[in-house]
Amino acid sequence: MSSGRYSGFRLLREAMAGHQGWRRAWHPAEAKPHYRIAIIGGGGHGLASAYHLAKTYGIRDIAVLEQGAIGQGNLGRNTTIVRSNYFTAPNIRFYDAALQGWERFEQELNFNAMVSQRGTLNLIHTEGQRDLFARRANAMALEGVDAEYVDPAGVKALVPLVELTNARYPVLGGFLQRRGGTVRHDAVGWAYARAASDLGVDIVEHTGVIGITPGHPITLSTTAGPVTAERVLLAVAGHSSTLAAMAGFRLPIETYALQAFVTESVKPVLDLVVTYGGGHFYASQSDKGGIVFGGATDGHNSYAQRGSWPQVEETMTAGLTLMPALSRLKVLRQWAGVMDMSMDGSPIVSDTPVPHLYLSTGWCYGGFKAIPAGGLVAAHLVATGTPHPLAEHFRLGRFRAGAQIDERGAGPYPWAH
């Protein structure tokens, strides 16, 4: 049964009925023995892929197999930032397609995920950084994507909290993408699950995959018994290597913990997303009033959804160096997600050595913003067997060919990306 359309009118009507009339946002399904397509992983990319397969490619015989409850991996653990500021044209095109997907999200999915294009501001602190970020902004502008330079006075006007001159690295200016911003992360998974479920996709929670037997169909051993599928998509973020091992191959992926933090709620003080160029730090203020912020990964392989102290210290000191007036603000929580860090810092949406088994992985710590386009290109790949034009450069074979997409030039070291 469909969850029914959401609207202000419906809210009013349900309020008069004591809110007893709301139905499940997505229908809980049990795994059937066979599907045309099985998607392993009920996170942002898995659910968006299911939605696009059903909506865009007309395939409804789909299961999303999630070992726990949907959206409890990195989808529920990120800092909710969306943007499309990349250096290379193929990446700009892909991530801007995602940003355009966010712009359509609420109307398309009839779910308010609070897509808020508040702007993302990347601060610069050296002349070298000015040139580097200008290069990125110029590349974006050439692709028709919005990017603008902001001088120090403009930075102060946009983010009064930023300390311009006294910090270790003075602020020389910044580059602003006005269309960047934040999206309420949890709502994204709920919205895709609801839309996919309404289209007939089985959202199968609490069903883990414990074995993959290649063949045609592919047989998945699950905690609820065997499931066969004509085609299978792995969309399990940090756990990609574990699933690939079940299917008999290795990936250019290492799994790292990335921490995030939120403060207590305060009245609005930070209108846009700001990133610090003198250290690894980014922050925004949620609609609820908490400052949500994060930094770099913990820097070593980890499947533990918790972080280590050195990165806490690094993130906290960077944040206060940038915005010293937040010193007395209380930090409420820190948590960590486990990231599928690829060897070049870029995603892998690809076929695999196992026929009919496809991958959407390597999103590193930029997977959230990519979800609308990531779902589309993965759905295209699984439905057609060929890469989507926006994602041809994300194929697995690039490592053997030497066509790494190393935007930072950090080399094949996951801890450096």
Residues 93-122 that bind other proteins (CB under 8 A): 106-107, 110-118
Both structure tokens of 40: 């392993």
The span from the CA of 42 to the CA of 209, in Å, is: 12
**Residue 34 Cβ vs other proteins, minimum distance, rounded to whole Å:** 25
For residue 139, give the H/E element and its range: helix 127-142
Q: How far is the CB of 304 from other proteins (least distance, A)?
A: 6
Q: Does 165 bind other proteins (CB under 8 A)?
A: no
Buried b (16+ CB within 10 A) or exposed e, 49-66: bbbbbbbebebbbbbbbb
Shortest distance in whole angstroms from residue 98 CB to other proteins: 18
Residues paired with 218 in a beta bridge: 229
Across 23-41, b (16+ Cβ under 10 Å) vs e yields eebbbebebeeebbbbbbb
Residue from 2, 56, 142, 208 touching other proteins (CB under 8 A): that is: 142
**Pair 119, 178: CB distance under 8 Å:** yes
- Cβ proximity to other proteins, 385 vs 409, nearer residue: 409
Residues 176-195 that bind other proteins (CB under 8 A): 184, 186-187, 190-191
- Residue 349 contacts residue 359 (beta carbons within 8 Å): yes
List strands edge to edge, sheet with 120-124. Answer: 148-150, 173-177, 120-124, 273-276, 281-285, 290-301
Q: Nearer to other proteins by C-beta: 34 or 134?
A: 134
Nearest-angstrom CA–CA distance, 74 and 366:
10
Residue that the structure tokens 């250019």 belong to = 252
Contact residue for other proteins among 219, 280, 335, 392 (CB under 8 A): 335
Within 8 A by CB and 6+ apart from 128, the residues are none
Residues of this chain, 200-259, that bind other proteins according to CB under 8 A = 205, 239, 241-242, 245, 250-255
Binding residue for other proteins, selected from 61, 152, 331, 387, defined by CB under 8 A: 331
Number of Cβ within a 10 Å radius of residue 130: 17
Out of 29, 60, 138, 199, name the contact with other proteins by CB under 8 A.
138
Touching other proteins, residues 70-89 (CB under 8 A):
71-72, 76, 89
Q: Which of 25, 164, 199, 224 is close enough to bind other proteins by CB under 8 A?
A: 25
Of 288-327, binders to other proteins (CB under 8 A) are 288-289, 299-306, 308-310, 312-313, 316-321, 324-327
Q: In the complex with other proteins, which residue's Cβ is closer, 214 or 345?
A: 345
In angstroms, what is the minimal distance from the CB of 212 to other proteins? 16
3-state DSSP assignment of residue 403: coil
**According to CB under 8 A, which one of 24, 208, 210, 215 is a site residue for other proteins?**
24
Say if residues 345 and 69 touch (Cβ distance below 8 Å). no
For the bound state, the minimum distance from the C-beta of residue 57 to other proteins, rounded and expressed in Å, comes to 25
- Site residues for other proteins, 344-383, by CB under 8 A, read none
Closer residue to other proteins, CB minimum distance, 217 or 295: 295
| Residue whose C-alpha is closest to residue 31's, from 240, 206, 218 | 206
Q: Which stretch binds other proteins (CB under 8 A): 94-102, 208-216, 217-225, 397-405?
A: 397-405
148 binds other proteins (CB under 8 A): yes
Q: Return the residue of 61, 221, 266, 280 that touches other proteins, per CB under 8 A.
A: 266
Q: Minimum distance between the CB of residue 170 and other proteins, rounded to whole angstroms?
A: 8
Q: What angle do CA 128, 134, 138 make, to 5 degrees?
A: 150
* Closer residue to other proteins in complex, CB, 30/131: 131
Nearer to other proteins, 36 or 269 (CB): 269
CB of 227 to other proteins, least distance (A): 22
Structure token digits, residue 156: 């102060």
**153 is a site residue for other proteins (CB under 8 A):** no
CB-nearer residue toward other proteins: 201 or 318: 318
Which residue number, 152 or 299, has a Cβ lying nearer to other proteins? 299
Q: What is the DSSP string of 149-212?
A: EE-HHHHHHH-TTS--SSSSS---EEEEETT-EE--HHHHHHHHHHHHHHTT-EEE-S--EEEE
